[in-house]
Amino acid sequence: MGGLAVRDVVVHYRDDDGTVATAVDGVSLDIAPGEVLALLGPSGSGKSTLLRAIAGLEPLSAGQVRWDGADLAGVPTHRRGFGLVFQDGQLFPHRDVAGNVGFGLAMTGPGRRDRAAHRARVTELLELMGLGGFERRDVASLSGGERQRVALARSLAPRPRLLLLDEPLSALDRALRERLAGDVRAALVATGTTALFVTHDHDEAFAVADRIAVMDLGRLLQVAEPAELWHRP
């Protein structure tokens, strides 16, 4: 089966007094190519640790993460072909908007020296994120919502085979979050991007996802389409 397969993943960590604790406690889930899956759960439920484990930023204590059937054990983060977006988009302060969005294009993929194609891609993604004409803006002049739009455009530019988003809207106020959640979904669908979207916010999960995986205390409670969630016979 294509796409992402997470199998029986366990992640332990050492807490402050040195005892071993469990952040992710035997999670299995699949994300099909082109699917947007929201991982929803309260703070401390293990969502971020699971996302980091999928990215290769956190060692697995047990289980497997596979892409298109191939085990990713030993494959470093930068070779997984995944994109990452965090709560604070972490833009490069010394580059303008186009310089941020085009950053990943200059070093990855075929035609990495094709400047005309890079410019077209940068412009296309800025328009997709509602930032047409922002190419030469200084990132310091942007609002919080605009900064996250730039971070999203930057992460999509190299066409990641999986985009991992960890609470990308959590630093924004509620009205902005609602608008942006819809725009994020539209951008993921328009680019056919497979994505895992971590959030503690129900409305956000419903607005972005094809399916929602609910997590608590390190375990998955259920995985369902938004309309089916909580409605069990």
Contact positions vs ligand ADP (CB under 6 A): 13, 15, 23, 41, 43-49, 98-99, 102, 105-106, 115, 118-119, 122-123, 135
User: In terms of CB distance, is 17 or 70 closer to ligand ADP?
Assistant: 17
Give the residue with the Cβ less far from ligand ADP, 98 or 195: 98
Rounded to whole angstroms, how far apart are CA atoms 144 and 96? Answer: 15
For residues 48 and 155, which CB has a smaller minimum distance to ligand ADP in the complex?
Answer: 48
Residues 6+ apart with CB under 8 A from 118: 102, 105, 106
Q: Based on CB atoms, which residue is closest to ligand ADP, 60 or 105? A: 105
Going from the C-alpha of 75 to that of each of 24, 149, 199, the distances in angstroms are 20, 29, 26
Identity of the residue, 51 or 229, whose beta carbon is nearer to ligand ADP in the bound complex? 51
CA pair distance 96, 99, nearest whole angstrom: 5
Q: How far is the CB of 5 from ligand ADP (least distance, A)?
A: 20
Taking the complex as a whole, the smallest distance from the CB of residue 216 to ligand ADP amounts, in Å, to 9
Least gap, CB of 157 to ligand ADP (angstroms): 8
**Shortest distance, CB of residue 43 to ligand ADP, whole angstroms?**
4
Q: Which of 103, 84, 82 is CA-nearest to residue 92?
A: 103
Task: For the CB of residue 42, give the shortest distance to ligand ADP in the complex, in Å.
Answer: 7
Which of 60, 83, 114, 61 lies closest to 191, judged by CA?
83
Q: Per-residue DSSP letters for 98-126? A: HHHHTGGGGTSSTTTT-HHHHHHHHHHHH
**Minimum CB–partner distance for residue 115 and ligand ADP (Å):** 5
The total of other beta-carbon atoms located within 10 Å of residue 220's CB is 21
Residue nearest to ligand ADP (CB): 102
Please count the other Cβ atoms lying within 10 Å of the Cβ belonging to residue 225. Answer: 10
Which is nearer to ligand ADP, 161 or 219 (by Cβ)? 219
